[in-house]
């Protein structure tokens, strides 16, 4: 065939798990008292902190899960 598409299942699984863990960790951080670490009125700094912390947590959890899952 002229155009062959191949799917890298490892990367696809990694991306799906990463997005799922990011959403879960973001909502957990929203429910926590994370904003008490900042001064009052620092809204955008709080949001950036929440997003960065969620990204970091999602990356480490996804890496750990991918080590546990069998590779394709």
In the prediction, which pLDDT does 19 show? 97
Cα angle 17-43-39, degrees, rounded to a multiple of 5: 115
pTM of the model: 0.81
Tens place of pLDDT per residue across the chain (72 aa)? 567 778 888 889 999 999 999 999 999 999 998 888 888 888 888 889 899 999 999 999 999 999 988 765
36-40 contact pairs (CB < 8 A, 24+): none
In the prediction, which pLDDT does 65 show? 92
Residue whose pair of structure tokens reads 């799906």 in the numeric block: 16
Q: What is d(CA 4, CA 9) in angstroms, rounded to the nearest whole number?
A: 16
Helix runs in 1-72, H state only: 9-31, 43-68
Domain residue ranges in the chain:
9-68
């Amino acid at each position: 065939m002229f155009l062959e598409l191949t799917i890298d299942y490892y990367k696809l699984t990694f991306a799906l798990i990463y997005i799922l863990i990011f959403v879960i960790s973001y909502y957990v951080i929203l429910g926590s008292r994370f904003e008490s670490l900042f001064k009052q009125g620092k809204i955008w700094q709080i949001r950036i902190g929440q997003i960065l912390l969620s990204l970091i947590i999602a990356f480490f959890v996804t890496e750990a899960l991918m080590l546990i899952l069998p590779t394709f």
